[in-house]
Amino acid sequence: MNRSTRKNNDNQQWSRLQISSGLWKISLLIVGLMIVAGCGNSQQQATPTTSGSTTPSDNNIVEPSVTASTPATAEPQSSEETIPEQSTQSEDTDDTDPFSGTTILKAAKEGTLPDLPKGLALGSSRETLFQLKGKPELGDTDVPMLSYGTFDVAFDGKDKIVELTSSADAYKKLKMDTIITELGKPDEKNDTSKDVAYTAEATYQLTNQDIPKYFLVFSYHTQTQKIQYVRLYEEIQ
């Protein structure tokens, strides 16, 4: 190989090296640009957008929106819906049991008995009786005494009620010794065993200046002390 040919080959090899070096620099530049662009996109995605957002303050709290993927939290039921209201009424039999000795006496002072309809009392008219209890199924309705099974009524000459007698089952649950414990000793006791064996009557006189003199009578069995019936009557002048 002569000198000119070697020189020509050296020049061609040098040209290739320059081209390769130029391509390598271009490749590095492109890679660098891609890295810079990628970092820029990452920073843009990592930065949360603030467009349209509202910064909550102490006076303006932004409620979180409920979407289909976020179930709404149910409001807790009030105590009135979950806890049944408890009654605070006293269970004292004197206040709640209409057939205790105390409440019988209280009703008697008002001229009535606790098992009778409201408005029916000593001094009521026959017409009032019919309105509240109806007419008896048997017998005449204009006689001095009317019977309704466990309930009897007596009238005076002016068709006013002067006596009420009731033998309701609720009275038969009471005992005379319990009545005496509640009301004290009766003003009078009568032996009625000649008419009905083993029976007696205990009478309490009710004194009230606003009303006529009333008498409350308990008929009871002398052996079992169980009440048979209760009678309330007015002293006829």
pTM, full prediction: 0.58
Per-residue pLDDT of 100-118, as tens digits, reads: 999 999 999 999 999 999 9
Least confident of 57-61, 96-100, 156-160: 57-61
Per-residue pLDDT of 61-85, as tens digits, reads: 445 444 444 444 445 454 444 443 4
Alpha helices in the chain (DSSP H): 3-46, 79-82, 93-96, 101-109, 126-133, 176-183
Number of Cβ atoms within 10 Å of the Cβ of 227:
24
d(CA 129, CA 117): 9
3-class SS of residue 202: strand
204 with 176: CB under 8 angstroms?
no
Per-residue pLDDT of 1-46, as tens digits, reads: 555 555 555 555 656 656 656 666 676 677 667 776 665 555 555 4
pLDDT value of residue 34:
72
Point out which residues pair with 164 in neighbouring strands. 153, 232
Phi, psi of 215 (to 5 degrees): -130, 130
